[in-house]
Chain A
């Protein structure tokens, strides 16, 4: 069974440019998470989806970040415009439901110059 797929794996952009990340969760997993992880830190939850509904998005900087999960499967996370402080690894994870163990994708390493 395929795991969580993310693309791109690496992205380098200049500040003020837009960027988007894509995630395909494990088939049948209703819950999808987007995390941001800075070096030496644990993952920080940005947003959680239950099917196509966004819940727990209190940590998402809504002035520049947006996310969607159309049809309750794939999801995209967008930053516009990017700032230097957005440099981090963006992890997508899925689970069969709320409170279950999470399966993480390989992440997208974003560098903003």
Chain B
């Protein structure tokens, strides 16, 4: 997706911590979503950040800096099942006055033993 930048691929070891970064265009920005998508499956919602700061949800945390147009997803105590694509999506104001979700191309995370 245009204006969303995230790494294409990352690898990490089981039990470790990994941080997936995402930058987005700040113009008309409303909020930032993270989704997880396993191969051949539909995306599933992980988190939504509107305000600056860190939001923790179990092993997953998401951070947002509105002024920098930056977010990251932090995955702790990695498990093999965390191998998936992680999609960053921004909600931004469109010309028609509504908020449109724009997805990045996703970061493929490979967790190895």
Mask for B29-44, Cβ within 8 A of A = 1, else 0? Answer: 0110100000001111
- Residue of A43, A45, A50, A98 touching B43 (CB-CB under 8 A): A43
B62 contacts the other chain (Cβ, under 8 Å)?
Answer: no
Q: Which residue of the partner chain B has the closest CB to A6?
A: B42
Which applies to chain B's interface (DSSP): helix, strand, loop or mixed? strand
B103 contacts the other chain (Cβ, under 8 Å)?
Answer: yes
Q: Report yes or no: B98 in contact with A98, Cβ–Cβ below 8 A.
A: yes
Q: Report yes or no: B99 in contact with A99, Cβ–Cβ below 8 A.
A: yes
Q: Report yes or no: B45 in contact with A101, Cβ–Cβ below 8 A.
A: yes
Listed by A's residue number, 7 A-B pairs whose Cβ atoms lie within 8 Å are A42-B4, A43-B87, A44-B1, A55-B98, A58-B94, A91-B43, A98-B99
Q: Please classify how large the interface on chain B is, using the bins under 10, 10 to 19, 20 to 34, 35 or more.
A: 20 to 34
Chain A residues with a Cβ under 8 A of chain B: 33, 35, 40-45, 48, 50, 55-56, 58, 91, 98-99, 101-107
B23 contacts the other chain (Cβ, under 8 Å)?
Answer: no
Q: Report yes or no: A41 in contact with B105, Cβ–Cβ below 8 A.
A: yes
Q: Report yes or no: B101 in contact with A45, Cβ–Cβ below 8 A.
A: yes
User: Chain B's nearest CB lies how many Å from the CB of A77?
Assistant: 16
Within 8 A of A (CB), among B3-38: 4, 30-31, 33
Question: Measured between alpha carbons, how far is A106 from B41 in the docked complex, in Å?
Answer: 6
- Residue of A42, A48, A50, A58 touching B1 (CB-CB under 8 A): A42
- Which residues of B lie under 8 Å from residue A45 when comparing CB positions? 100-102
Q: Report yes or no: A91 in contact with B42, Cβ–Cβ below 8 A.
A: yes
B60 contacts the other chain (Cβ, under 8 Å)?
Answer: no
- Most chain B beta-carbon contacts within 10 A, residue among A43, A98, A104: A43
With contacts A42-B1, A42-B105 taken as known, whether A104 is within 8 angstroms of B100 at the C-beta atoms is no
